Structure 1
Amino acid sequence: MHANLANCFCVLNAALLSITGLASIGGSYQVLAEEGASGHYQPGSLCSRINKIPPSKSVNIFVDLNEYEGKTDAGLTVPVAGLAVADVNVNDQSYSLNVFWNPGVELKGGWQYAMAISLPYRSIDVSASPTKLDSGSRQSDKDSGVGDIMITPLILSYPISEYWQSELHFNIYSPTGSFDVGKLANVGKNYWTFSPVAWLQYIEPVTGQEFTLSGGIDWNTKNDDTDYQTGTQLYVDSTVIQYVPLLWGFTGIGLSGYWYQQISDDSGSGAVEGGFRGKSVGLGPVVSYQSKWSGRRVRAELKWINELEVANRPDGDFISLKFSTQF
């Protein structure tokens, strides 16, 4: 068992070091955000047992309902779809149907293969003030519809031991959501994002303890409509939960947090604010539930993340509610 632990920690360590090393080519670690002050990654959304692939041949379906509400610091100029605005308030609601498929294929060395797809519907409401260089009153805008679909063609999982599990995900965000230059609110980003993520999870069923750690990086293509190249982003999510037998299953309570840093500058003629690197750190409580209904495994999770430190991004709160079942 110790040998398996050491081998897998080496795999995860190598994956995370490779991610960090490749990303650092794009720029140095300085706290200077993306176009619209947000990217495809929703801070604090990844580290959940529900996001884990099924352990055997099966299909896992989960619904993710989340809402983010925040505002930028007074005086911060934000580039949004070809506009330059300030004092931005945003309310972003997303409803996603997620399907994970494990075909039961075991690869050499004990690795398992799976794939996934996430189909989001977004409703976004944005208000902002023109910059001092412009004239006019405060503006508001709304948009709703299918957002940018996330495809995960490759998920690899490896059981380190009885209690430890590792995973590697490769996510691709496609620009399927609508985007119009000159609008404050758009449900799509109008660029592709390629996002490898490494996972490590510990589950102790006897004592009811659960620990999840994930680290990832987002590489983005250019938004050709605004000639804006969003920089590379690095992030780490973590969740700790203690379960007890309750409500015909197991109910857990714990903490979830994240660290996010943009590590290369924005560029292109649309990047009127220069590098505009974003940074944020958040922490909050999480409540989880798991049981079996009619022989099917079901899970639910409620999470609230409060942003504690923010630079060049809105400062606010993220609420997530997830339900999953296995077929």
Structure 2
Amino acid sequence: MQQSIQDRSHDAAARPTPLRKTRHALRCAALLAGLVAAFGHAGGVQAVEGGSGVYALGYIAPQAGLMPDPGSYFSVNYYAYNGTSTANVSATRQVSIAGTHLKLQEQLTGSIKTQVDSASSLFSLTHVFTETMLGGNPGLAVLLPYAKADLDLTASGVFSLTGPSGRSHSLSLSGKDSQRDSGIGDTTLTGLLGWHDGRLHSMAMLNVYAPTGSFDKQRAVNVGRNHWAIEPMAALTWLNEATGLEVSGAAGITFNQINPATDYKSGDEFHLDLTVIQHVSEKFYLGLVAYAYQQLTGDSGSGATSAYKGRVYSLGPIIGGMIPLGQKQQLFINGRYYQESGVENRLKGNTFFLTGTVKF
């Protein structure tokens, strides 16, 4: 991390004295300690390790509970997220100078801005079986992402040192750190079971997240999580084919396991995806999408600095439809955008999905 420091000290003495040397050492030490503490605080307000869960919020949208016809399907999701957060830092303490009765008061005030830009290509393969089980159609899916993420931290503030005479000495400080990571992310294995009952369609899912992505605890950003997770989900779709109105929703709870490299266990997470759309024709629809997220239990383990719980809501538009590919093939495509609000202990930003699915 590069630092630019402007010393605006009011001490005009030209020759170093033991007291001046001590003050200089204290200023340098406090500056380094302050920046470390500030950056640590900025990361600490992010609930769950890494600041986001294994489930991509908003991933399930139109026809969430509608199990497709038996066969094999290939999907590509382009996922992009941009989020920021700002943490204010303020710390004051008294420091005794060894060998004297002097006490100096030091204070650090400033702010840390965190910005994350991530993009992923999510490749999934789904097979729906012709056989039935418990009155429904079973299926299996596997998802493999290729992800890249950029993390930028910017710190700015003022360090002040007050001597016994009440005279203040201050340092303006700033710092910036950037880290990047890209590669294959964690694999998701999903079991599916879907039912149809007139206009109502329902589906039960079980997601298992395997830590196949790269992870290094020395990095501030990683495309892999380095821990297993299991996630039961349920989805419903109500579709009136006569009017073209569709209401869909999917809810799940993520049970995270511990990261053995950091001894960090992210808390359990609840998420809900909602969609209301109007099918204008067989080839075109538009509507609204939303997601809600609430962390149910705090983070734990020796690597967790505090048991923070995250929360976020979002709302946005969706547009999509079907594009014929030759005489038999069809491409089902949609784009959706989410704007986040009501954020606690998470980044606040926006999410974009572009999804394409074909049956082969």
* Structure-2 residue corresponding to 1:91: 117
* Structure-2 residue corresponding to 1:80: none
Aligned equivalent of 1:36, options 42, 45, 50: 50
* Structure-1 residue corresponding to 2:163: none
Contact 1:54/1:100 (<8 A) preserved: no
- Could you state the TM-score of these two structures normalised by the residue count of structure 1? 0.81
Q: Write the letter of the residue equivalent to 2:283.
A: F
CA distance, structure 1, for counterparts of residue 52 and residue 286 of structure 2:
29
* Structure-2 residue corresponding to 1:265: 298
- Could you state the TM-score of these two structures normalised by the residue count of structure 2? 0.73
* Structure-1 residue corresponding to 2:141: 116
Q: Write the letter of the residue equivalent to 2:60.
A: L
Aligned equivalent of 2:318, options 283, 286, 291: 286
1:201 CA drift (Å): 0.5
Aligned equivalent of 1:233, options 269, 272, 281: 269
* Structure-1 residue corresponding to 2:73: 60
CA distance, structure 2, for counterparts of residue 191 and residue 288 of structure 1:
35
1:296 CA drift (Å): 2.3
1:164 CA drift (Å): 1.1
Q: Write the letter of the residue equivalent to 2:76.
A: V
Contact 1:60/1:324 (<8 A) preserved: yes
Contact 1:92/1:123 (<8 A) preserved: yes
What pairs up with 1:1-327 in 2 under 5 angstroms? Answer: 33-49=47-63, 52-55=66-69, 57-75=70-88, 86-108=112-134, 110-129=135-154, 137-152=175-190, 154-159=191-196, 161-245=197-281, 249-272=282-305, 274-293=306-325, 294-327=327-360
Structure 2 unmatched runs, 5+: 1-45, 91-110, 158-172
SS of the counterpart of 2:88?
coil
* Structure-1 residue corresponding to 2:160: none
1:87 CA drift (Å): 2.2
Contact 2:246/2:276 (<8 A) preserved: yes
Greater relative contact order (CA < 8 Å, ≥ 6 in sequence): 1
Contact 2:65/2:201 (<8 A) preserved: no
Aligned residues: 281
* Structure-2 residue corresponding to 1:22: none
When residues 53 and 100 of structure 1 are mapped into structure 2, their CA distance, relative to the original with a 3 A threshold, is: farther
Q: Write the letter of the residue equivalent to 2:145.
A: P
CA distance, structure 1, for counterparts of residue 276 and residue 208 of structure 2:
27
CA distance, structure 2, for counterparts of residue 173 and residue 123 of structure 1:
18
* Structure-1 residue corresponding to 2:93: none
Sequence identity, in percent? 30
When residues 192 and 166 of structure 1 are mapped into structure 2, their CA distance, relative to the original with a 3 A threshold, is: same
SS of the counterpart of 1:229?
coil
Structure 1 unmatched runs, 5+: 1-31, 78-84
